[in-house]
Structure 1
């Protein structure tokens, strides 16, 4: 379970970075959206756990 969660988190962050860069053509916005995706991950783990 934890391995698949790590893979999903990594893929989701990479996807957020790529989509953001393609839409806005700015690496700073891409990094910002990658960080925002980590806040969502932390929220999900706190609320629902990794069970």
Structure 2
């Protein structure tokens, strides 16, 4: 149940940009979006936390983002492949 809630919150946050209005001052909005964290970083942090339960490793893997996500997919353990 927690994974469903987390997924819904995740989708909601990333879909807000799709439904936002294009108002007069685009400079502030574009700066906030370009300096924010990306989908790869969020995914890497969540996957790292589920596997290691370490804040330091989650932070480090968030920096490497998509590289860690690809590493995780290629090296999944058998118990991680089963649906819970």
Q: TM-score, normalised by structure 1?
A: 0.52
Moved over 3 A (4+): none
Q: How does 1:28-43 map to 2 (within 5 A)?
A: 28-37=56-65
Larger relative contact order (CA 8 Å, sep ≥ 6): 1
Q: Could you list the runs of 5+ residues in structure 2 that have no partner in the other structure?
A: 1-33, 68-84
Larger Rg: 2
Compute the displacement of 1:37 (Å): 2.1
The structure with the greater share of residues assigned to helix is: 1
Q: How does 1:5-44 map to 2 (within 5 A)?
A: 10-37=38-65
Please give the root-mean-square deviation of Cα atoms over the aligned residues, in Å: 2.3
SS in 2 for 1:20: helix
